[in-house]
Structure 1
Amino acid sequence: MSDGAVFAKKPELALAQSKFAALNGTPQQREEALRKLLDGIKQDKMAAFHAQLVAEGVLGKNAALQKELNTASEAELVDLDKKVEEAKEEQGDLEQNESSIHRAVFLAQIGEEEKAHAAYEEILQRATTTLNQKLDIVFGKLRLALFYYKPQLIQKEIKRAHELVDKGGDWDRRNRLKAIECIWYCSQRQFKEASTLFIECLSTYASPELMSMSEFICHGALACAVVMPRSEIKKKVIDAPEVVEVVGAIPNVDKMLRSLYDCRYADFFVALAGVETDHLNVSRYLFVHHRFLTREMRIRSYAQLLESYLSLTIKSMADAFGVTQVFIDEELSRFVAAGRLHCVIDKVGGIVITNRPDTKNAQYQGMIKQGDLLLNHIQKLSGIISM
């Protein structure tokens, strides 16, 4: 496309994030988010999106601004319609498709979700649309689905993008698709898949239209923190040059990972609280998982400490995490009962005794069970053959 940069950025996903922060952030975060929302709406002439936010109660009613946005967006649509007609009369198929795509992009930009999807789909079905144009259209539809967060549509467009990329998509589009999938997997609590894609495209991330580098690293690092072994987190995340470069923008994420690796558990708890406030509570992709993520990280830290001891006092454990003995007792009791921590709590003695699972014995018992099943199948098979 002649203007791929414009196409790639509309609608601005940062505005969808600002809307979410305006509804779920701290008072300071809300104030900043509302300012960004209004600036973005004015800059992109987002008449339909502004009307939607007013109807939802996110923004206050402003008739003068709405009228100004309507006038500006309608004038530009008239101009784009004129260019589409001129392309039909004077130019070839490629130019006609591009002018139509620019019109669809503008519909997406101003917040006309359904009209934009319909316009994209019409161009996609044309026999004259090239593979690269089809890919860019699918990415445009995917952006719309992400902007309004339509899970079924996101899955559909990701599948469609894969099919087109496999037919001949270039490196840039493949990499962009990986980044989108990484964030999508984060939103679906599929952190193992997200961490794999994050590591694959970390060094080649070039999708600022999806989110900034620091935001991408924040989401990917949190996914890795839940599922990746401690040694791999150190090598592939904490010490990765791309991560080191942006730690100033996400200090609590960096502090959380480093303090856990260095066994500084009190610092880890403080950083985890900061991660929840600064990132999890205002991320439109991770918010629904914030309790799961903080719980899993606490379990991981408890298990890491207990792994080093046969037993330790509740007091020493509480001191290590910088919390009260009552808090540690309640936390451990809940996680032990759920089978997430392998230890026994002696409340009389105030001691936590580790009770590591015997993996070798479990493997032996599993082998015996599988052997019995195999013998049963052989006996049944021999009976059938003899008949």
Structure 2
Amino acid sequence: MIPYGRQSISDADVKAVVDTLQSDFLTQGPAIPAFEEALAKYCKVPYAIAVNSATSALHIACLALDVKAGDRVWTSPISFVASANCALYCGAKVDFVDVEPDTGLMSVKALAAKLQQAAANNTLPKVLIPVHLAGHSCAMQQIATLCQPYGIRIIEDASHAIGGSYQQNKIGSCQFSDITVFSFHPVKIITTAEGGAALTKDMALAARMQLLRSHGITRNPDDMTEVSHGPWYYQQIDLGLNYRMTDLQAALGLSQLKRLDIFVNQRIEAVANYSALLQNLALELPQECSTGQSSWHLYIVKLHDENLRLSTFETLRAAGIGVNVHYIPIHTQPYYQKLGFQWGDFPQAEYFYSRIISLPLYADLTQKSQDYVASVLKKIPGLQ
């Protein structure tokens, strides 16, 4: 089976993990701050907080921005459910902004209209979470410009987008946001097995997220409510969570980060190869961002005829090609329908979903595998 995505593990990665296994620290040791420092340096941002998943990063990002019951958070319906669930964890209400039908990215036009209506109805969100689908950045400058007059805070869900850029800055620089979140799941650009990170330029937000990821406990005497009892003393000063990353994960991430640009370049080459192989089929192929460089986490094609998707999907899977669909619109999930959402609420997201298939794309994808994927597609009736 050719998977739709997979990790690339080198001997250096294995050695980094083994060295950590043989060290004095398996967790809460020196590998975590080393990984955070390297990640922050790569993105040219002051602070990076490593956690055990991007879902956890989204949650503490919402908490750090004081999202609570009675607040509203808006995100994209074309994403994994975590992009919306993080707000529900805080007791907030979730709503969605429709997407551009060609890219699946948050629509600036739809956002502008929704903000205008929400301002009139006194239902503005506290936080907006744009999602950088497939590694392509949303139009962050325009989004930030729309949000600024209302004081809306922004979390970039860049789970797909580490290694990409927007307006000559690395995604993660927080140029137009308060916090950026990355994922290091095995199918992402780099991996820590499981893991994520939240990046910010704001010292206070960074300190709050660092506190929240580890039970709300501090060992800093300056943050305590009374004089420390001694070197052993700690205080729980907030209701935090156990979202810590281990040193094993951080060691792998630090090693992987050294090859991040290589991975992105390999993906770019594979995308160019797909574009050449598939150009004459009845497919709409993904295009590069006009305002930056995608990290190309996913290669999402759109069928001209949505009625062919199921047969195309099944034919590819039967041929040993692990295609997937990214994503089923969040508002159509049964849990969200119980909250009042329904099919038809976000028509562009639903239209985008109806035609998409993600073809295999990862750093080690070979020319031979891509040729095989193309050969199977070319034999499917209706795609010629």
Q: Same fold (TM over 0.5)?
A: no
Which of the five TM-score ranges fits, normalised by the shorter chain? under 0.3
Q: Which has the larger radius of gyration?
A: 1
The alignment's TM-score, normalised by the length of structure 2, stands at 0.23
Greater percentage in helix: 1
The alignment's TM-score, normalised by the length of structure 1, stands at 0.23
Highest relative contact order (Cα 8 Å, sep 6+), 1 or 2?
Answer: 2
